[in-house]
């Protein structure tokens, strides 16, 4: 679901950045009021969680692969607006350092996963959980369904962005300049994987984490989550100040450490995600066959579309594909990249917290 550079026209990229910008602005305004408290470490831990979850690829139909995002968890724990920031931070780290998603298409990826994913997850969770007690099983089920619906909404948006490219941007002879497949193929290919395994993975993660929080720190679901009953008192017994907020999140970081150590398992899934093909894939017979199999048996262009080829080279990530060149072991390289990503997520939380304090002083 991470749209690479070159698959969207420059005008589409600008439009997506413009579409995401108002949501980023409101999210930052909301964050200014809360980042002095434990929200800053929670934002960091949720951003690191999303970053790690997206490293676990799962096999999807037709030989492709995909992943969960964690949008269901972040929307419930942080609320939709801070969730937008947390997922956007994770996507920014992935694009700049690892080339997972493009720099020109970062606005589109954030609009799809961070903005639409968070808002849809929050809305569905609010509607389904109703005024049920925070400890009710209904809330864990609501979170699972919210995650499932949200990731499919994000996938649908990405598919429409892919699909509009050959309709709007092509040569006089009708040759696509960017993403080559029309909406019918793009939508069916994207949703085939997300309505099945990727969506189920997102649902299991969201429902499982919320069920765990109901037993370990139910106050999080009231203080920051979407849809908490207004009349229900917020649990304050574990609410720290900015001074000890990071110590408060220690149980989360311990579990994230275990998740980080397990990230090399994400290498087990074979196949490339639909719409994330490298330039060489358009010329490689085996890759072309795989692309066609996942695209209603419609073969891709014989060569990369000219606009795609030009924009694909606009940014060279220092650690592309989570594979540091100085390490021969793919598993060790994947683990190192996971550690780097988590470290930057922590730094982002500290930076936002410091900026929030400076603005308030």
Look at residue 2 and tell me if it is in a domain. no
What pLDDT tens digit does each residue of the chain (361 aa) get? Answer: 899 999 999 999 999 999 999 999 999 988 887 776 667 888 999 999 999 999 999 988 888 899 999 999 999 999 999 999 999 999 999 999 999 999 999 999 999 999 999 999 999 999 999 989 999 999 999 999 999 999 999 999 999 999 999 999 999 999 999 999 999 999 999 999 999 999 999 999 999 999 999 998 887 787 555 555 544 444 444 444 444 567 777 888 889 999 999 999 999 987 899 999 999 999 999 999 999 999 999 999 999 999 999 999 999 999 999 999 999 999 999 999 999 999 999 998 888 777 776 666 5
Would 326 be classed as within a structural domain? Answer: yes
- The rounded distance, in Å, linking the Cα atoms of 355 and 29 is 12
Residue 193 lies in domain: 10-254+279-360
Rg (the chain; Cα; Å): 20
Question: Strand, helix or coil at 96?
Answer: helix
Asked whether 287 and 277 are in contact (CB, 8 A), the reply is: yes
CA distance 252 to 257: 9
Asked if residue 264 belongs to a domain, the reply is no
| CATH number for the domain that contains residue 154 | 1.10.1760.20
Query: What does the alpha-carbon distance between residue 257 and residue 151 come to, in Å, rounded to a whole number?
Result: 25
One DSSP character per residue, 128-184 reads HHTT--TT-HHHHHHHHHHHHHHHHHHHHHHHHHHHHHHHHSB-TT--BSS--S-HH
Please indicate, yes or no, if residue 265 is contained in any of the structural domains.
no
CA neighbor of 303 nearest in space, from 287, 322, 279, 336:
279
Beta bridge partners of 59: 65
- Report the alpha-carbon distance of residue 254 to residue 243 in Å, rounded: 20
Number of domains forming the structure of the chain = 1
Whether residue 353 lies inside any domain: the answer is yes
What tokens were used for 360? Answer: 């308030």
Distance between CA atoms of residues 271 and 263, nearest Å: 17
Q: Hey, how many other C-beta atoms are within 10 angstroms of the C-beta on 11? A: 10
For 209-246, b/e burial (b = at least 16 CB within 10 A) is bbbebbeebbbbbebbbbbbeeeeeeeeeeeeebeebb
What phi, psi does 93 have (nearest 5°)?
Answer: -60, -45
Residue 4 forms part of a structural domain: no
């Amino acid at each position: 679901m991470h749209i690479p550079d070159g698959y969207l026209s420059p005008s589409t990229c600008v439009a997506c950045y413009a579409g995401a910008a108002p949501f980023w602005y409101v999210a930052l305004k909301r964050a200014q009021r809360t980042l002095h408290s434990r929200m800053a470490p929670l934002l960091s831990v949720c951003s690191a969680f999303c970053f790690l979850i997206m490293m676990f690829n799962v096999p999807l139909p037709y030989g492709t692969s995909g992943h969960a995002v964690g949008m269901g968890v972040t929307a419930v724990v942080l609320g939709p607006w801070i969730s937008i920031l947390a997922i956007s931070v994770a996507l920014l780290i992935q694009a700049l350092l690892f080339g997972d998603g493009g720099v020109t298409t970062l606005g589109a990826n954030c609009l799809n996963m961070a903005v639409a994913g968070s808002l849809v997850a929050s809305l569905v969770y609010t509607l389904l959980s109703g005024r049920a007690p925070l400890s009710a099983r209904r809330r864990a089920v609501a979170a699972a369904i919210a995650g499932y619906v949200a990731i499919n909404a994000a996938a649908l948006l990405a598919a429409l962005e892919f699909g509009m490219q050959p309709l709007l941007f092509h040569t006089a002879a009708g040759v696509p300049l960017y993403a080559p497949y029309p909406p019918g193929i793009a939508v069916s290919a994207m949703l085939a994987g997300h309505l099945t395994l990727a969506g189920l993975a997102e649902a299991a993660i969201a429902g499982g984490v919320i069920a765990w929080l109901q037993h370990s720190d139910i106050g999080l679901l009231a203080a920051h989550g979407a849809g908490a009953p207004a009349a229900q008192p917020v649990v304050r017994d574990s609410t720290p100040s900015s001074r000890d907020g990071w110590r408060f999140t220690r149980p989360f970081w311990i579990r994230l450490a275990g998740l980080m150590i397990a990230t090399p398992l994400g290498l087990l899934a074979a196949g490339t995600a639909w719409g994330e093909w490298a330039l060489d894939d358009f010329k490689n017979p085996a890759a072309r066959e795989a692309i066609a199999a996942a695209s209603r048996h419609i073969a891709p262009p014989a060569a990369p579309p000219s606009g795609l080829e030009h924009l694909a080279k606009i940014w060279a990530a220092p650690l592309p594909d989570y594979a540091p060149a100085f390490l021969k072991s793919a598993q060790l390289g994947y683990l190192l990249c996971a550690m780097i990503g988590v470290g930057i997520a922590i730094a982002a939380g500290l930076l936002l917290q410091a900026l929030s304090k400076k603005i308030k002083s």
